[in-house]
Amino acid sequence: MTNTAPPPEDAPARITARIAELGGWRGQTLAHVRQLIHDAVPDVQEEWKWAKATSPGVPVWSHGGVLCTGEVYQYAVKLTFFRGAALPDPAGLFNASLSGAARRAIDLKQGETLDAAAFRDLIRAAVAANAAAKKT
């Protein structure tokens, strides 16, 4: 059997392949979130991290450090922000991992919609938080 997966260093192709593999609402949700991230930060870096024998890995978006990950589960697409606890969230997008000291997450379930403008603002705030952390 031939492995047709993109090489590990080709993160954008791996993310595209993962979206296609998922299909359905989870693939559509991950694709939509990916587009919103690129809309907010056109020079965002896409990475593929934490692949191991028991997990194919996770899409990661970075700009001066990790902004968020895009984990996919059976019942949710989870967007985890590494500096989420420090980010302003006036729209109340964070709905998971709320007790952590640093991280916050957004769980998107089938049929749920994401406030696109608020999400783009959150991504931009994550970029600013990474830049501020580098200065200190």
As its CATH architecture, domain 11-135 has Alpha-Beta Complex (3.90)
Domain locations in the chain as residue ranges? 11-135
Give the DSSP letter string of 59-88: EEEESSSEEEEEEE-SS-EEEEETTGGGS-
Confirm whether pTM is higher than 0.85: yes
pLDDT digits (tens, 9 = 90+) for 69-97: 999 999 999 999 999 999 999 999 999 88
With cut-offs at 50, 70 and 90, classify the pLDDT of residue 7. low
pLDDT digits (tens, 9 = 90+) for 24-57: 999 999 999 999 999 999 999 999 998 878 888 8
CB–CB of 77/33 below 8 Å? yes
Handedness of CA 6, 60, 77, 33 (dihedral sign): negative
Work out the percent of the chain whose per-residue pLDDT is above 70: 93
CB–CB of 62/56 below 8 Å? no
